[in-house]
Amino acid sequence: MKRLAIFVSGTGSLLEAMIKGGLEISFVLADRDCRGYHLADPTGIPAMLLQRASFGPKFNRKGYTLEVVKFLRYFNIDLVAMAGFMTILDPVIFDEGYEGKILNTHPSLLPFFKGDHAVRDTLAAGAGVAGCTIHVATEELDAGPILAQASVPVLPGDTKDTLHERIKVVERELYPKTILEYMKTLK
């Protein structure tokens, strides 16, 4: 069985669904103190809070990423799934052996609405459908090979929160399935 790490920064409802669904997780990493990080506590899954020294321009992205790599090596991780992880890692991670070994889920139907405000931008554009995309992470943000997508309707009166929650409902089912399928393709 391949060893999976989940990276979180927020509510962690995707991680929660993975834990409840019985997905085997070998390591959880958070970049800030968040609910997602604390979800690991009662499960016995090793969790690391690798806080960023700064959120400003002085952030040492490469240094931070190399710290992340140390933990991935320590826990013998074969695949990383970012689940609401809000730090953009430096491309050095791909040179360190993790190319093709990092997945991301994004709350839009890529290639539409890339970036941090995908749900807000979907609403602002007046789109009739929204959704999520699970893809392989590459140097270019929200642009790697797409593994799976699922759509949901945008309903009258939707706010960013109601629409995002509708998206997350399908994400919680699609992401674990896609991770397991992708794992089978890893050598």
Q: Which active-site residues does the annotation give?
A: 106
CB of 106 to ligand GRF, least distance (A): 5
Nearer to ligand GRF, 157 or 161 (CB): 161
**Number of C-beta neighbours around residue 32 at 10 A:** 17
Restricted to residues 93-132, the positions that interact with ligand GRF (CB under 6 A) are 105-107, 132
Least distance (Å) between residue 171 CB and ligand GRF: 5
Query: What values do phi and psi take at 6, rounded to 5?
Result: -115, 130
| E strands in the chain | 4-8, 27-30, 47-49, 79-82, 102-106, 129-136, 146-153
The verdict on 168 binding ligand GRF (CB under 6 A) reads: yes
Q: Total binding residues for ligand GRF by CB under 6 A? A: 16
Point out which span in 37-45, 61-69, 154-162, 165-173 binds ligand GRF (CB under 6 A).
Answer: 165-173
Binding of residue 176 to ligand GRF (CB under 6 A): no
- Which residues have C-beta within 8 Å of that of residue 94, sequence separation ≥ 6? 138, 139
